[in-house]
Amino acid sequence: MEKITSLAKRRGFVFQSSEIYGGQNGAWDYGPLGVELKNRIANAWWKEMTQLHDNIVGLDAAILMHPRTWEASGHVENFTDPLVDCKKCKTRFRADMISEENLAEKKCPDCGGELTDTRKFNLMFKTNIGPTEDTASVIYLRPETAQGIYVNYKNIVQSNRMKIPFGIAQIGKAFRNEIVTKNFIFRTCEFEQMEMQYFVKPGTDEETFNEWRKQRWSYYEKLGVKMDHLRWHQHGPDELAHYAKDAYDIQYLFPMGWRELEGVHNRAGYDLGRHSQFSGKDMQYIDQDNNNERYIPYIIETSAGLTRNVLMILCDAYDEEQVASDKNSDSSEGTANGTADDWRTVLRFHPNLAPVTVAILPLMKKDGLAELAQDIRAELKEDYATDYDQAGAIGRRYRRQDEAGTPFCVTVDYQSKEDGTVTLRFRDSMEQVRVPKTELAARLKQEIKTYKRIK
Ligand code: GAP
């Protein structure tokens, strides 16, 4: 994880928030490469959930919601972590994350000092809205995006004539006052979620739940993730959230071990039932195709962390390998210090997720090669995210693109001026082929379509 964190900073994927002031715990900034990666992951999910499903529509609800929302959702009462503090070193721990012995003996795992009794700590960020700071003005930052969907479910049924079963998808920020925020962007106070709520007739929920488990598993397969790094974990009775009838996590094998990546939850009638009770509004669905039968829909939820997916994709793509280089060729992988063998760090992103798809590199700045390379970039940039680099030895430039996860490099050399061909270099295999520049765009399209990770 240290290597990934340092690469992420060095190459502009992720920076610590407010670093010049010593950093803000639990918050991170996405740099030029990071924001591209995050957007591509979000777009892949959005396409999968909306474009590829005729009965799922999108929503972008506000972060600030009426405070009654969170009473109805059960978050005011139940969204808590058990906390203990050390009276001596003042460190705060999640009680479920320290050993049973330490907890029973009330002994601090860090300094041996005395621990306080366990108390409940609500994870919602609370603030005030308007000019006064009294209880009437209390408002929360949403701890999950799901509730924005539930309170809009009737609007969407009416405005878009949705018929059950149907889904509503949303990507957005969520906030939790997490006590433990280690492991880079894994668990943070400000993060993004990609959630889809699927509304079904009670009684069909279990079948739909299993169907969505299958779909979410194949989504990661399609994304090209190492499938032996994924597994299912079913929540036991002690782990189930207050709203859940059944829940499975998709876990990923992160550097610190198996951890939750996404949850698939059967929330049954809990949410709409509670909103109906707290708002006094009728949340029943009227089935016009079935004698106007009325019922409160059950909900199957798929809930993935977008920022956690960024970390997963970074970990999944990260590789180091020893490569042999050929010092004699102009466009070789040779290193500046001229050693025959070399280590490279490479991010093996799927081309659809890579922040830069193709980098254009003139072998020399002079003799019109830079201009020719710029022309090629101008032609490609309409369809592909491009980068241009003319600084330093070509081998070093390839390494820089490997570290950024760029799947293709195009090198423009003297031969290009003569016969109009360029070198297309593949990140994963480091193979190089000559391609007429007029065929580059089509060749890239084909390579992306048929991409298979080799390692
Ligand atoms: N609406 C259901 C819900 O929010 P959750 O299991 O609490 O369920 C869903 O969260 C997903 O959101 C998790 O699987 C994880 O990917 C992401 N997530 C939750 N808390 C997070 C945090 N503090 N930092 C980053 N991602 C988080």
Tens-place pLDDT, residues 55-65: 999 999 999 99
For residue 109, the one-letter residue type is: P
* 357 close to 410: Cβ distance less than 8 angstroms: no
**Residues with Cβ < 8 Å from 330, sequence gap 6 or more?**
363, 394, 413
Q: Is the pLDDT of residue 92 over 50?
A: yes
Q: How far apart are CA 444 and CA 437, in angstroms?
A: 11
Look at residue 156 in the predicted model and tell me its pLDDT: 98
* 422 close to 376: Cβ distance less than 8 angstroms: yes
Look at residue 135 in the predicted model and tell me its pLDDT: 84
Give helix then strand counts, H and E, for the chain. 14, 23
Give the H or E element holding residue 254. Answer: strand 246-254
Nearest alpha-carbon partner for 44 in 275, 315, 258, 354 = 354
Look at residue 180 in the predicted model and tell me its pLDDT: 82
CA distances from 372 to 409, 434, 443 (A): 15, 16, 19
With bands split at pLDDT 50, 70 and 90, how would you rate the model's confidence at 340? Answer: very low
pLDDT 10s digits, 253-304:
999 999 999 999 999 999 999 999 999 999 999 999 999 999 999 999 999 9
Q: What is the mean pLDDT of residues 45-62?
A: 98
Nearest alpha-carbon partner for 9 in 29, 39, 36 = 29
Q: What is the mean pLDDT of residues 239-252?
A: 95
Burial 338-370 (b: 16+ CB within 10 A, else e): eeeebebebbbbbbbbbbbbbbbbbbeeeeebb
Q: Is the pLDDT of residue 343 over 60?
A: yes
Q: What is the mean pLDDT of residues 351-363?
A: 97
- The partner residues of 234 in beta bridges, in order of sequence, read 248
Nearest alpha-carbon partner for 176 in 207, 141, 209 = 141
Look at residue 316 in the predicted model and tell me its pLDDT: 98
Mean per-residue pLDDT over the chain, rounded: 94
Look at residue 324 in the predicted model and tell me its pLDDT: 74
Lowest-confidence pick of 76-90, 171-185, 336-350, 421-435: 336-350
Q: How far apart are CA 49 and CA 192, in angstroms?
A: 16
Q: What is the mean pLDDT of residues 3-20?
A: 97
Give the H or E element holding residue 418. Answer: helix 414-419
Output the six-digit token pair for 198: 């699927």
Burial 285-311 (b: 16+ CB within 10 A, else e): beeeeeeeeeebbbbbbbbbbbbbbbb
Nearest alpha-carbon partner for 303 in 144, 160, 429, 173 = 144
Q: For residue 233, report the distance from its CA to the centre of ligand 1, in Å.
A: 15
| Strand pairing class (92-94; 80-85) | antiparallel
pLDDT 10s digits, 126-182:
999 998 888 889 999 999 999 999 999 999 999 999 999 999 999 999 999 998 888
pLDDT 10s digits, 410-450:
999 999 999 999 999 999 999 999 999 999 999 999 999 99
* 300 close to 56: Cβ distance less than 8 angstroms: no
Q: Is the pLDDT of residue 41 over 80?
A: yes
With bands split at pLDDT 50, 70 and 90, how would you rate the model's confidence at 341? Answer: low
Atom of ligand 1 nearest to the CA of 176: 23
Q: Is the pLDDT of residue 336 over 60?
A: no
Output the six-digit token pair for 227: 């499938």
Atom of ligand 1 nearest to the CA of 263: 14
What region does 35 belong to: left with phi over 0, alpha with psi -120 to 50, or beta?
alpha
Atom of ligand 1 nearest to the CA of 188: 24
Residue from 144, 171, 258 whose mutation best tests the ligand 1 pocket (most atoms within 8 A of CB):
144
Look at residue 96 in the predicted model and tell me its pLDDT: 87
DSSP three-state, residue 27: coil
Looking at the chain, the whole-number percentage of residues with pLDDT higher than 90 is: 89
Look at residue 325 in the predicted model and tell me its pLDDT: 60
Q: For residue 199, report the distance from its CA to the centre of ligand 1, in Å.
A: 21
**Pocket-forming residues, ligand 1, beta carbon under 6 Å:** 144, 146, 176, 178, 187-188, 191, 193, 195, 260-263, 301, 303-305, 307-308
pTM of this structure: 0.94
Q: Is the pLDDT of residue 328 over 70?
A: no
With bands split at pLDDT 50, 70 and 90, how would you rate the model's confidence at 47? Answer: very high
In the Cβ-directed half-sphere of 242, how many Cα atoms lie within 13 Å?
14
Atom of ligand 1 nearest to the CA of 195: 1
Residue from 308, 312, 313, 315 whose mutation best tests the ligand 1 pocket (most atoms within 8 A of CB):
308
| Strand pairing class (386-388; 358-362) | parallel
Q: How far apart are CA 440 and CA 346, in angstroms?
A: 23
Q: Is the pLDDT of residue 252 over 70?
A: yes
**Residues with Cβ < 8 Å from 418, sequence gap 6 or more?**
none
